[in-house]
Chain A
């Protein structure tokens, strides 16, 4: 996020795009709701009538993947109405005239035709966004999990740049990260193109820095992404893989392909708390300690580096992740130092090598009040990025074209399927599914479908249906709901042992980030008889003796 979470409640206008916040980031939604209570405007852009729309001044129910058409049209409205921040553009932005020319075809009528959102509503939203004293954009995977994910993000950045909303309190462009430490994993250099602290692996100065620190030569070429790596596993270029704390088999699109990739490996190491579907394919499984059993840190969405602390003992011989990896390293005839006495030592090395973490120690992250960059020991942290100036000079406006989703409904697969989470079932349910009580709240998967569609298919609430795409098919229950728009159905992927939703999803990726288009697949739906032996009554619960089950 360019701005911090607490600032949200002082925003004057909030544009929430592709973020089912009350279910997926409920406590960020608390700030949004507080801002609404203080009089801020809220516009929600989402194909589904998600709970956040109940608090909104406007809901723009766009068709899946039509974001660029919509936001380009909003930018055009802002410029046509003369609502752009001329001073800010003059001082901090480049490419304005080019953008203005590029936007000519993106009329409201065109945007309405592509997105299905009424022109007047698009115009209203654009004007409210541009007129607000501070307007924040908040988005989640509804923006990024598309073949045009990067363009989607850039179309939002354009809006912030032409209205001067980047580098200002209670504004900005704010991706909400979906996992507790996904930001931290990237910060630590678990990326094929960056060392810790987002230092490029292809920059000779950075290579030299890490060669000096670790005492061995660095590969001067960046690696491939995880998505490409699975392809390379299938074709034999990758022989061994080490997967830490990810249930890849279940959470990646096109399960058949992922299974094939993992089964093609000569050697698979999985490090996890549980014997997940992915771990079941492994040659070696390392038992990892839980977050309650180790000292360490998580970095959240607003770049806040926070301490976690050991409160309980790991079961059996489970160990902290860093310790396990360092032990293997020490047995690999390497000259590199992998002897660490504590997690704090590991953190100190990370901080010493990462300019954005340079001012951080375990002591300084005690209270969790520092967002990176924290370049030195006295630095107060950086809740708002880009204040005063951008890191690379001027903010560059991008000329973006609308690209339709890679798959669209046709005669054979007449519906759009989009996927996401539900409030009580987190991700593939490895954590919530094993916590007492959650199976009572959400006992099974279901397909959400609009009544007009269900009527046509002869489906009623509680029926079973087969959902089929070009990759595969699943059978699940049906819930008739107006949350889903006509022609678009929704599923989560929280019950892989019963309904492996990612058999159906779309593995096409954004060519720049290689993020799959989880949000759009074309599917067919047909009613089927209830299968025997499936459903809530058989819902697996890992620990029947677990606490708290009532």
Chain B
């Protein structure tokens, strides 16, 4: 007889699991639809939104699957009518507290988790209509918008700030209707330990937190392209998604499966991309003529440079030339510059900026 160890049943199918896995993880791997709002796989399970409830054979009440460890012999049902009814009711309550206007996250970046789930569960906000919290913060920082009217108290922002970033800049305050998210002494983010890394924005399942650089982007016509790339700042190599429209950069979002950063970015990687759109970018080759740098054609710039370097090589020898490669530009350019130095100028007079 086959051992029962590390095997359980999900919706009638027998499955194996790794010790330590939660029922949610096993169920999702099986393809079961288990909705969540307070869950982020990078964070410790929290169990506050209750949307991930499942029926467990032998238990009287449904259990939250994100906090329930898989056990041998467990029998789990994920999508029964009573479970779906509970989930729908919970979603209706969540939605009822949210303003009815257009969700900025859905508009600017893509459907937020709350509205995505509302659609999947086919529920609206009408049944429990009541007051909304009016808890928004007027925060004068340049990057993060804090519109807590849309907050659903999942505390993913607080937890990512604690568990991943370890900045502990924000916390939960109040109880019941007055609950909210605040910094120490309830001031602005720039007066707190917040480093403006923006991780809270991109774990938030609603439009409560937004990237100010992205706000309103959704109202501009034209398709937004998302291209995976790597951050241009320090040597960590965090994966980022570049958002562009009509060939122009409009924003950056983290790549959740980036091998180095797993969705984490710092203030520079998250918000410091728009130097590429700066009005003072060089757009044409320049040659110094009568003391002034003057725009010229590529051909003129190439011919002039080639002539000058050939005469330096002829008159002063290969070692009279020196090349410094960039530690920031893509590697293909560095390869080409050292090939140029070695194969055309015939010396090893090349370095990069790592010495200072």
A and B associate: yes
Knowing A27-B238, A179-B328, A189-B335, the reply to whether A275 touches B280 (Cβ < 8 A) is yes
Smallest beta-carbon distance B270→chain A, Å:
10
Knowing A246-B326, A285-B285, the reply to whether A434 touches B236 (Cβ < 8 A) is no
Given A300-B236, A423-B195, output 9 extra A-B contacts at Cβ < 8 Å.
A181-B330, A181-B331, A191-B352, A224-B322, A245-B325, A275-B280, A312-B249, A320-B330, A441-B142
Asked whether B348 lies within 8 Å of A437 as measured between CB atoms, the reply is no
Knowing A310-B227, A321-B336, the reply to whether A426 touches B355 (Cβ < 8 A) is no
Q: Which of B228, B233, B318 contacts A180 (CB 8 A)?
A: B233
Q: Which residues from B are CB-within-8-Å of A181?
A: 326-331, 334
Asked whether B322 lies within 8 Å of A325 as measured between CB atoms, the reply is no
Which interface class (under 10, 10 to 19, 20 to 34, 35 or more) fits A? 35 or more
B-contact 0/1 string along A20-60, CB 8 Å cutoff: 00101111101001101100000000000000000100000
Q: Which residues from A are CB-within-8-Å of B236?
A: 5, 25-28, 176, 300-301
Residues of B within 8 A of A (CB): 140-143, 163-166, 190, 195-197, 212-213, 225, 227-239, 242-244, 247-250, 258-261, 264-269, 271-288, 293, 298, 301-306, 308-310, 312, 315-316, 318-344, 346-356
Binding stretch for chain B, among A63-71, A162-170, A453-461, A511-519: A511-519
Asked whether B342 lies within 8 Å of A317 as measured between CB atoms, the reply is no
Asked whether B230 lies within 8 Å of A368 as measured between CB atoms, the reply is yes
Interface centre among B271, B276, B319 (most CB of A within 10 A): B276
| A474 at the binding interface (Cβ < 8 Å) | no
Asked whether B328 lies within 8 Å of A241 as measured between CB atoms, the reply is no
Asked whether B260 lies within 8 Å of A55 as measured between CB atoms, the reply is no
Q: Which of B197, B259, B301, B308 contacts A304 (CB 8 A)?
A: B259
Cross-chain pairs A/B with CB under 8 angstroms, 28 sampled: A22-B195, A179-B354, A180-B231, A184-B331, A218-B342, A219-B346, A221-B348, A223-B347, A232-B322, A242-B321, A273-B281, A280-B293, A286-B282, A291-B328, A296-B332, A299-B331, A309-B227, A312-B276, A321-B330, A324-B333, A329-B343, A338-B340, A350-B332, A368-B237, A435-B274, A440-B142, A548-B143, A548-B271
Give the CA-CA distance A391 to B273 in the complex, in Å.
40
Binding stretch for chain B, among A73-81, A85-93, A407-415, A539-547: A539-547
Knowing A240-B322, A317-B283, A548-B213, the reply to whether A179 touches B237 (Cβ < 8 A) is no
| A430 at the binding interface (Cβ < 8 Å) | yes
Asked whether A312 lies within 8 Å of B332 as measured between CB atoms, the reply is no
Asked whether B303 lies within 8 Å of A331 as measured between CB atoms, the reply is yes
Q: Which residues from B are CB-within-8-Å of A338?
A: 336, 339-340
Smallest beta-carbon distance A267→chain B, Å:
5
CB proximity to B under 8 Å, residues A319-364:
319-322, 324-329, 331-334, 336, 338, 343, 346-347, 349-350
CB proximity to B under 8 Å, residues A496-550:
509, 513-516, 518, 542-543, 545-550
B-contact 0/1 string along A180-193, CB 8 Å cutoff: 11111111111111
Give the CA-CA distance A549 to B278 in the complex, in Å.
12
Asked whether B196 lies within 8 Å of A239 as measured between CB atoms, the reply is no
Asked whether B142 lies within 8 Å of A549 as measured between CB atoms, the reply is yes
Closest chain A residue to B282, Cβ basis: A287
CB proximity to B under 8 Å, residues A229-246:
229, 232-233, 237-246
Q: Which of B166, B318, B337 contacts A325 (CB 8 A)?
A: B337
Closest chain A residue to B323, Cβ basis: A242
Smallest beta-carbon distance B246→chain A, Å:
9
Give the CA-CA distance A294 to B233 in the complex, in Å.
16
Q: Which residues from A are CB-within-8-Å of B235?
A: 25, 176-180, 182-183, 300-301
Asked whether B332 lies within 8 Å of A547 as measured between CB atoms, the reply is no
| A420 at the binding interface (Cβ < 8 Å) | no
Closest chain A residue to B346, Cβ basis: A219
Smallest beta-carbon distance A21→chain B, Å:
10
Knowing A30-B165, A251-B353, A311-B225, the reply to whether A274 touches B332 (Cβ < 8 A) is no
Closest chain A residue to B227, Cβ basis: A311
Asked whether B328 lies within 8 Å of A245 as measured between CB atoms, the reply is yes
Asked whether B274 lies within 8 Å of A302 as measured between CB atoms, the reply is no
Q: Which residues from B are CB-within-8-Å of A182?
A: 235, 327-328, 352-354
Asked whether A292 lies within 8 Å of B283 as measured between CB atoms, the reply is no
Instruction: Name the 9 nearest CB pairs between A and B, nearest first.
Output: A316-B283, A300-B237, A321-B333, A245-B326, A296-B330, A177-B235, A437-B142, A190-B325, A182-B327
Smallest beta-carbon distance A456→chain B, Å:
30
Binding stretch for chain B, among A111-119, A150-158, A209-217: A209-217
Give the CA-CA distance A181 to B324 in the complex, in Å.
14
Closest chain B residue to A345, Cβ basis: B332
Knowing A244-B324, A252-B356, the reply to whether A196 touches B338 (Cβ < 8 A) is yes
Give the CA-CA distance A285 to B289 in the complex, in Å.
12
Asked whether A244 lies within 8 Å of B326 as measured between CB atoms, the reply is yes
Closest chain A residue to B265, Cβ basis: A27
Asked whether A185 lies within 8 Å of B325 as measured between CB atoms, the reply is yes
Smallest beta-carbon distance A28→chain B, Å:
5
Asked whether B258 lies within 8 Å of A368 as measured between CB atoms, the reply is yes
Give the CA-CA distance A272 to B260 in the complex, in Å.
28
Asked whether A30 lies within 8 Å of B329 as measured between CB atoms, the reply is no
Asked whether A229 lies within 8 Å of B271 as measured between CB atoms, the reply is no
Interface centre among A218, A280, A319, A424 (most CB of B within 10 A): A424
Knowing A179-B235, A288-B329, the reply to whether A251 touches B356 (Cβ < 8 A) is yes
Knowing A246-B324, A547-B213, A550-B212, the reply to whether A267 touches B308 (Cβ < 8 A) is yes
Q: Which residues from B are CB-within-8-Å of A546?
A: 274, 277-279
Asked whether B268 lies within 8 Å of A190 as measured between CB atoms, the reply is no
Interface centre among A225, A244, A282, A302 (most CB of B within 10 A): A244
Asked whether B351 lies within 8 Å of A192 as measured between CB atoms, the reply is yes
Asked whether B142 lies within 8 Å of A284 as measured between CB atoms, the reply is no
Closest chain A residue to B289, Cβ basis: A283
Asked whether A187 lies within 8 Å of B331 as measured between CB atoms, the reply is yes
Smallest beta-carbon distance B179→chain A, Å:
26
Interface centre among A33, A219, A297 (most CB of B within 10 A): A219
Give the CA-CA distance A474 to B16 in the complex, in Å.
67
Give the CA-CA distance A325 to B322 in the complex, in Å.
14
Q: Which residues from B are CB-within-8-Å of A347?
A: 331-332, 335
Give the CA-CA distance A38 to B296 in the complex, in Å.
59
Give the CA-CA distance A216 to B355 in the complex, in Å.
29
Interface centre among A224, A226, A367 (most CB of B within 10 A): A226
Q: Which of A33, A177, A432 contacts B268 (CB 8 A)?
A: A432
Asked whether B228 lies within 8 Å of A309 as measured between CB atoms, the reply is yes
Asked whether A436 lies within 8 Å of B293 as measured between CB atoms, the reply is no
Smallest beta-carbon distance A306→chain B, Å:
5
| A315 at the binding interface (Cβ < 8 Å) | yes
| A127 at the binding interface (Cβ < 8 Å) | no
Q: Which residues from B are CB-within-8-Å of A320?
A: 330, 332-333
Q: Which residues from A are CB-within-8-Å of B238?
A: 27
Asked whether B275 lies within 8 Å of A243 as measured between CB atoms, the reply is no
